[in-house]
Amino acid sequence: MSARETALVALLGVLATVADGIAVRNSTAPETVPAIVLRDGNQTDEEAVFSPLMFNITHQAEVEIIAATEAALDALLVAVAGAITADRTLGGAVSFAHPEAPSLATVDVEGSAPAFAAQLPVTLMFTATGSPAA
């Protein structure tokens, strides 16, 4: 398993400790409210280290959270950020995990009370050997 996949699986494991384990990864099906969805995201930085060859990778995953009220959304954001910062190595899978400031939006369809969504970037720093793809 690649260092990236190890990090994402560990992050999903941490998210699963929040809100009765509703967290899922890369879901494309409609979820029920409240929802926590981990999106794999992209690598944002890499630094090569020689002798021995390895790469310090910075990867940004996105955690999307949707709740029925602003207060419920905030509680989930606090819970998710708290679960990550409680162990920033995610059980040893990464060297550092850091929740960033969330983007906020409302979800609305005609005839429905609005739901509230947040997109929380989570920066994951880890080391890959061989190549950044591995």
Q: Which residues bind other proteins (CB under 8 A)?
A: 27-33, 35, 37, 39, 62, 64, 66, 103, 105-113, 115-117, 119
91 in the Ramachandran plot: left (φ > 0), alpha (ψ -120 to 50) or beta? left
**Residue 59 CB, nearest approach to other proteins (Å):** 17
Is 90 or 117 the residue whose CB approaches other proteins more closely?
117
Consecutive H or E run containing 6: helix 3-15
Is 34 or 126 the residue whose CB approaches other proteins more closely?
34
**Residue 26 CB, nearest approach to other proteins (Å):** 9
Angle CA 99–23–74, to nearest 5: 50
Is 51 or 110 the residue whose CB approaches other proteins more closely?
110
**Residue 33 CB, nearest approach to other proteins (Å):** 5
